[in-house]
Chain A
Amino acid sequence: MSTTTFMPYDEALARFEPVLGLETHVELGTASKMFCGCPTAFGAPPNTQVCPVCLALPGSLPVANATAIESTIRIGLALNCSIAEWCRFARKNYFYPDMPKNYQISQYDEPLCVDGYLDVEVEGTTVRIGIERVHLEEDTGKSTHVGGSTGRIQGADHSIVDYNRAGIPLVEIVTKPIPGTDRLAPEVARAYVTELRELMRTLGVSDVRMEEGSLRCDVNVSLMPRGSAEWGTRTETKNVNSLRSVERSVRSEIERQAAILADGGRIIQETRHFHEDTGFTTSGRSKEEAQDYRYFPEPDLVPIAPDPAWVAGLKAGLPELPSVRRKRLQAEWGVSDLDMAAMHNADAIGLVEATVAAGAPAADARKWWMGELARRANEGGVALAELPITPAQVARVTELVASGALNDKLARQVLEGVLAGEGAPDEVVAARGLQIVNDEGALSAIIDEVIAANADAAEKIRGGKIAAVGALVGGVMKASRGKADAGRARALILEKLGVSE
């Protein structure tokens, strides 16, 4: 294998302009498969969620899942697409062991949804990504290649196939070519997939877990020399299984292609595989000896002819879309673009929104999620949403602070307790004894002790040197192990010493 050379990113961008394209596959979260009644739950023992239809036994026939068609149309509507008034499924013919029929029921020249767009925000600017088409198809089974070093079929000892996934409804969303992203191409690609994922969640059509493969992304990249209007040859990178990988694969592919082109070479139109460990892509099968899929209309299924009135009803019933929601929340919360973007990137918007809904002021909710909790999530290497604390619990903590029962320092300890599994905030407060000391008797006794122990300081204060009170307040806080209300302690000390400010 020849070594791949890369051109440093800045140099690559100085000489070439990237054009992106993204093909995203989303497994729909329908209860049953696309063309049969088998369940779709992830992680069942291999080949337990199968039947004559999804195993392609002789004589079996597909029946289209109406919910999957509806979900696809809703996705199309949310992506501002036109919905076909009449379209058909098509057979895509090719032999592969994880494809039971040796053809995939897909859509070819008559997709359900065409010509839409999705706006994404990158570094404060809005980029409109054109959507070429959204179509519905079925997933294949899952092959596992055993005995090779790469986990791919080449060099494997044998392969095993799990058909549980075969026939799960899959929506393919294809962008139009995306020129003009310039040096932000990797970020735009990532932002697009992020936005798409959020849209799917909002629509409730898929759990969009990249790590489980329910959202899969193929990234197309080509380069053209600066000043040229003619697009270059593209490569298609598969196996891009995280948002970070989307970004890295674009960057790496730009650097690789730039090195080849600068050296007078040409880009081979091919499928490439992304490797999470190295961040590089390697060559897959070449598309130049392209497969002829021999598409033709699927004769086992009747055409789909969605009633325009029904489609209009689906459109009217769409939930508030993520970008609209973000704008609304930003206005409601009164936060800056920068803060909003930070919350978006941290996947904190929903958490903050839920915390606000549970009664917390927006500023406090944001403060905790983007501060202490973000820090904890970072330390633990988990997503914010995966922290074992609920927005309602965070809201309760902010309430305790607002009521004066906790100060920020204690509140952090309460959060720590909740995260450690010690129970709800009130339980942690009780168990750890974190209540601010606002019992005047107890506080008064502590102050008396502190004054007695710091006679010199007390004398200075009596003499009018009020600034010295800080030392006594510190003493009180220390003696109370942080539980005293510092403001109240200060007032009481001054009162006891007969001084007024």
Chain B
Amino acid sequence: MSLIHESAAELGRLMAAGEVSAVEVAQAHLDRIAEVEPKVHAFLHVDPEAVLVQARAVDERRAAGEELGPLAGVPIAHKDVFTTVDMPTTAGSKILEGWRPPYDATVTRRLREAGLVILGKTNLDEFAMGSSTENSAYGPTHNPWDLSRIPGGSSGGASASVAAYQAPLSTGTDTGGSIRQPAAVTGIVGMKPTYGGSSRYGLIAFASSLDTPGPFARTVLDAALLHEAFSGHDPMDSTSIAKPVPPVVEAARQADVAGLRVGVVKEFGGEGYQPGVLARFREAVDLLESLGAKVVEVSCPSFEYALPAYYLIAPSECSSNLARFDAMRYGLRVGDDGTRSAEEVMALTRAAGFGPEVKRRIMLGTYALSSGYYDAYYGSAQKVRTLIARDFDAAFHQVDVLVSPTTPTTAFPIGERADDPMAMYLADLCTIPSNLAGNAAISVPCGLADEDGLPVGLQIMAPVLGDDRCYRVGAAVEKAFESRWGGPLLKEAPAL
């Protein structure tokens, strides 16, 4: 097997054993990027020289006898919404084109501390707003399974890079499903940790109360290793939880569900769901039962209000978060010809710098927060949020984890939903409740839909700080499916 097909855990082991160097591993991935990137367009920035410098540094640390973590030397693709001092950071927006942050995000810093080699910055929907990566100001990313289709979003560059073997690991952020949905439609693993379990410092904000950094990988164990590497309390983020990271790696290795109570969310299924997605989902539930889990149906009646509540809360927060992009201190500046006022330059810059979806959400949010509308919109949405959290609480009294399809359909063709925001928003129907409640949720592959042969994801939801349960169940599903399929699902993907 070539280096690019190895798991992160295996690459880490090979490097620790001295069988391969970090430079060799990095070079293999740089070669792969050079080969397939013109087709996939997963990256917004790759600097091969800088990558090799990082890899050499890891090799030198190892040669000097330094004790390194399990992921030291492993390459990673980093979502271009985390600040990086040595690479531009755009959030997929023209308004930040060419901006070089003077500081590293906490996630970035922890990747570096763990010895991960950052290959580059991945494409995303502008400011992480979208479910297809079509909203990137720098062009869409293509799904390695079918280049005419979307790789999910907003972390579409992140999912595509891992599915296309450009990187064994990548970072993502999940505000309404932006990790789980791309993972599902590209046949890989994507985890949204408990809100506050991973630091938002240096993550360019979309919706502060929802944004959650998380890992992408091709195996559940790899995702857990990365999760552990960059998560944990950060004093720079007030909403970060001051508790130890749940034992996610141990759980991923445990990989058994015997005696575990699994709840199937009654509300997710039926109209609007692709039959092939539902079929694969039912298979996954049967599989869990065959592995010794006790499966019951659970009702979460408030979940049907999650999507509208989300599309009030997230735009409200974003309308305020994105106010800082005003041409005054950094980023794009338009119309500053010495005759215009600061206010006019701000308006011209924002008109030119933001794409249509970002503008739509800023306007939605501005409206929802307006005097006289606040209670009806933002206020009501917050109440729904409380009800959803209560539904979860009640459910987790009955069961250890909840399961659902990750997304109602497989990857749709690029352009299909570009002019239909509502259809696009439905991609996050099943993922949004966990963002509103802040609990942990993972997506793992559960097969290919019969209609289109495209990957389907199984979502496993666990309580707040129950992240380890996601990994435990996810790893059990992965193990059982791979033995049934004779290997990982990605093996079925066409060669690029």
Contact = CB atoms under 8 A, between A and B. Distances in A.
Interface residues of A, number: 29
Given A56-B324, A93-B323, A159-B342, A300 B366 contact: no
B242 to A, nearest CB: 11
Interface in B225-241: 235-239
A52 interface: yes
A296 B320 contact: yes
Contacts of A148: none
Contacts of B235: 63
Contact of A59 (B82, B238, B320, B325): B82
A64 interface: yes
A296 B99 CA distance: 29
Contacts of B378: 296
Interface in A243-300: 292, 294-296, 299-300
Contact of B101 (A59, A103, A301): A59
Residues of B contacting A: mostly: loop
Interface string A213-241: 00000000000000000000000000000
Given A58-B83, A59-B203, A292-B371, A299 B102 contact: no
B326 A95 contact: yes
Interface string A33-54: 0000000000000000000100
Interface string A421-461: 00000000000000000000000000000000000000000
Given A93-B323, A100-B329, A299-B317, A57 B101 contact: yes
A59 B128 CA distance: 13
Contacts of B236: 61, 63
B322 to A, nearest CB: 9
Interface string B266-282: 00000000000000000
Given A292-B370, A296-B316, A299-B317, A61 B200 contact: yes
B318 to A, nearest CB: 11
A241 B238 CA distance: 36
A58 B96 contact: yes
A55 B326 CA distance: 12
B239 A300 contact: yes
Nearest to A56: B324
B476 interface: no
A294 B202 contact: no
Interface string A331-349: 0000000000000000000
A93 B371 CA distance: 12
A93 B326 CA distance: 13
A97 interface: yes
B427 interface: no
A160 to B, nearest CB: 11
A102 interface: yes
B461 interface: no
A348 to B, nearest CB: 46
B87 to A, nearest CB: 13
A52 B89 contact: no
Which of B200, B235, B369 gathers most chain A CB within 10 Å?
B369
B317 A101 contact: no
Interface in A68-98: 91, 93, 95, 97
A424 to B, nearest CB: 50
Interface string A133-154: 0000000000000000000000
Given A159-B342, A302-B238, A97 B326 contact: yes
Contact of B103 (A57, A91, A295): A57
Contacts of B374: 294-296
Contacts of A102: 323-324, 326
A126 interface: no
B205 A52 contact: no
A5 interface: no
A101 B324 contact: yes
22 contacts: A55-B329, A56-B324, A56-B329, A58-B83, A58-B324, A59-B204, A59-B205, A60-B201, A63-B235, A64-B238, A97-B328, A97-B342, A102-B324, A103-B323, A292-B370, A294-B366, A294-B369, A294-B370, A296-B378, A299-B209, A300-B205, A302-B239
Interface of B: 82-83, 89, 91, 96, 99, 101-103, 105, 200-205, 207-209, 235-239, 316-317, 319-320, 323-326, 328-330, 342-343, 346, 366, 369-371, 374, 378
Given A56-B329, A58-B205, A59-B103, 16 more contacts: A52-B102, A57-B83, A57-B101, A57-B329, A58-B96, A59-B89, A59-B204, A61-B236, A64-B238, A91-B320, A102-B326, A292-B370, A294-B370, A296-B374, A299-B207, A302-B238
